[in-house]
A and B are shown apart, each in its own frame.
Chain A
Amino acid sequence: DVKVTQSSRYLVKRTGEKVFLECVQDMDHENMFWYRQDPGLGLRLIYFSYDVKMKEKGDIPEGYSVSREKKERFSLILESASTNQTSMYLCASETGYEQYFGPGTRLTVT
């Protein structure tokens, strides 16, 4: 079974803090994705990566950056957290268009 893990289930940060969310997959997938999910808005793609050190912007990249130094690990960075970044963050790993999701990180920015 594909396993995607995320570093935290719940996270509380203050406005202006730098926040790191980490995602690790164990299936040697090349493609990885970061989404945020908000009530009424559904899943929105933030960034994705097709290879190590490669990244592409999704639909809502503003205020975020990513890092992929190793194939199995894809990190999402909030450079200066703001209250409108309070959300559920979901990481996914993909093969043949089938995406497998981690459990999610519920981030609250106060």
Chain B
Amino acid sequence: EDQVTQSPEALRLQEGESSSLNCSYTVSGLRGLFWYRQDPGKGPEFLFTLYSAGEEKEKERLKATLTKKESFLHITAPKPEDSATYLCAVPRNYGGSQGNLIFGKGTKLSVKP
């Protein structure tokens, strides 16, 4: 069964304390892995797409990496405004139809000043 698991469920950091979030998946024939940020009461905001093992993408203090079984979202010297829930998703194997994503349950990041 296609599955996406994120860990930890919640992460509390002090401002400036770097860390990583994990997203592991069990879908065959990966057609991309997607990271989103979601602020409370709002829709998810697209961050990154990764397509192949070894690929990396960066945006400000965030860097996403991909291996054959998992992805990491590295947060370097985080600030309070980085506090949000981070979601990852992969396309499911669904009769070849594109766009149908499986989402993980997310990691809720809190950064204290």
Contact = CB atoms under 8 A, between A and B. Distances in A.
User: Which of under 10, 10 to 19, 20 to 34, or 35 or more describes the interface residues of B?
Assistant: 20 to 34
A73 interface: no
9 pairs of A and B residues whose beta carbons are closest in the complex: A101-B43, A42-B105, A94-B99, A43-B103, A31-B99, A101-B44, A104-B43, A97-B32, A103-B43
Contacts of A43: 44, 87, 103
Interface of A is mostly: strand
Given A42-B104, A42-B105, A43-B87, A90 B44 contact: yes
Contact of A97 (B31, B43, B104): B31
Nearest to B92: A45
A104 B46 CA distance: 15
Contact of B99 (A42, A99, A101): A99
A45 B98 CA distance: 14
Nearest to A32: B99
13 contacts: A43-B103, A45-B101, A48-B100, A92-B43, A94-B98, A94-B99, A97-B101, A98-B34, A99-B34, A101-B36, A101-B46, A104-B41, A104-B43
